[in-house]
Amino acid sequence: MARKMLKDGEVAVADGGGGESYEYDLFVIGAGSGGVRGSRTSAGFGAKVAICELPFHPISSEWQGGHGGTCVIRGCVPKKILVYGAAFRGEFEDAKNFGWEINGDINYNWKKLLENKTQEIVRLNGVYKRILGNSGVTMIEGAGSVVDAHTVEVTQPDGSKQRHTAKHILIATGSRAHLVDIPGKELAITSDEALSLEELPKRAVILGGGYIAVEFASIWKGLGAEVDLFYRKELPLRGFDDEMRTVVASNLEGRGIRLHPATNLTELSKTADGIKVVTDKGDELMADVVLFATGRTPNTNKLNLEAVGVEVDQIGAIKVDEFSHTSVPSIWAVGDVTNRINLTPVALMEATCFAKTVFGGQPVKPDYRDVPCAVFSIPPLSVVGLSEQEALEEAKNDILVYTSSFNPMKNSISKYVSYLSRDHLLILQFHLSPCVLVKGYRILWCFH
């Protein structure tokens, strides 16, 4: 980065050039998980804080957002509500094995689930606003951009603009889903729209092999749709343990999801029967909905960062040091906009460390060791610790891998997949359903 890098434990805190006064100690752009945590924690240390955020809407756009950000409004929370709803199909089927006699049709009301989902995210949006208000944070509605090292311009929904100055600026604008550039891409949707579809699809095509793709495949299949999942690699969930990737793929197929490994989509077109999908292998199929779940892009394109000297990488992510400091001394960044580990708890950790470093007098670097990760497929998967490859590198190829599986008593009748854990001597990676993780994780943690 352009500025001088600091020694361990040393943090450069902008002094504004000596004696300047500012409207705020901290101005935060973006009221998602990281922005809200950074704001309220900084305010708790006595800082005068303001935060700007776009008006609430379930689907994000240049002029739509909401307090709570991606996780609360169009990510973790609504997605898990849909996962819970979809999982009941399997529960009804399993109930027969436990003696329940279910006579007649079991009807499902998609619109009712969407209505309840929307009510919950509206409630949480209000909760985040109250948290900020109770913390003494000034909330400003609109889109923020950086004018200079200490000035933010907020463009409000009516087009009017106002400028605010601050000793420090924290950027926490998150990321957005993107569409693969193929002919007909405008016919596809992202996870934003998938969470708010007016009609449940009968035929769904999903492009992507990450957790979002796997989760929506599980949701739509659980709610009765025919699902085809396409991804570039031989197995889904790149970056996860290969053994568990195999288990997940087998489980998806076992639930009736059609997998298409090492296959890309090349064209979409509208027909009277729906959307025609063409693959790079020459195959064609029809769908009611095509979901692109192929990654996310940091929300930096409207921030005017390069004009003020904030460095970004080739995908637009803000470059930061170990303390979340950008190349401009008074500007910081946390969360998905930095493209480090794009998880809500990580953004919260980074924001807390930022506040302690800048306003708490306690320089703290985020600790990315042993970050848990969950995939809310049906059934779900979670993991914590080193991967086998990471363990090999850390132990210079001298490790012993122990693999075991177990089947909870309920599953012996309900026929669910067994769970699997892997023990790398004292270096552990634990793979489980999140539902059964907590006790085992806490016990094993003692041996790390």
What whole-number distance in Å separates Cα of residue 320 and Cα of residue 339?
Answer: 10
Tracing tokens 């270096």 back to the chain, one arrives at: 427
Three-point CA angle 391, 397, 400, nearest 5°: 70
User: In residues, how long is the chain?
Assistant: 448
Residue 208 assigned ligand-binding role: yes
Backbone φ and ψ for 173, nearest 5 degrees, come out as: -90, 0
Tracing tokens 């809500």 back to the chain, one arrives at: 344
Residue 211 assigned ligand-binding role: yes
Side chain identity at residue 384, one-letter code: V
Residue 159 assigned ligand-binding role: no
CB atoms within 10 A of CB 5: 10
What whole-number distance in Å separates Cα of residue 13 and Cα of residue 168?
Answer: 9
Residue 174 assigned ligand-binding role: yes
Q: Which of 311, 316, 318, 368 is CA-nearest to residue 343? A: 368
Residue 173 assigned ligand-binding role: yes
Residue 91 assigned ligand-binding role: no
Contact 209, 231 (CB under 8 A): yes
Residue 438 assigned ligand-binding role: no
Pairing of strands 203-207, 175-177: unpaired
Residue 335 assigned ligand-binding role: no
Side chain identity at residue 423, one-letter code: D
Residue 144 assigned ligand-binding role: yes
Contact 157, 304 (CB under 8 A): no
How far is residue 351 CA from its own chain's centroid?
16
Residue 80 assigned ligand-binding role: yes
Q: Which residues contact 391 (CB under 8 A, 6 or more apart)?
A: 399, 424, 427, 429
Task: Pick out the residues of the known binding site for FAD.
Answer: 80, 144, 173-175, 336
Q: Which residues are annotated as a binding site?
A: 80, 144, 173-175, 208-215, 295, 336
Positions at the binding site for NAD(+)? 208-215, 295
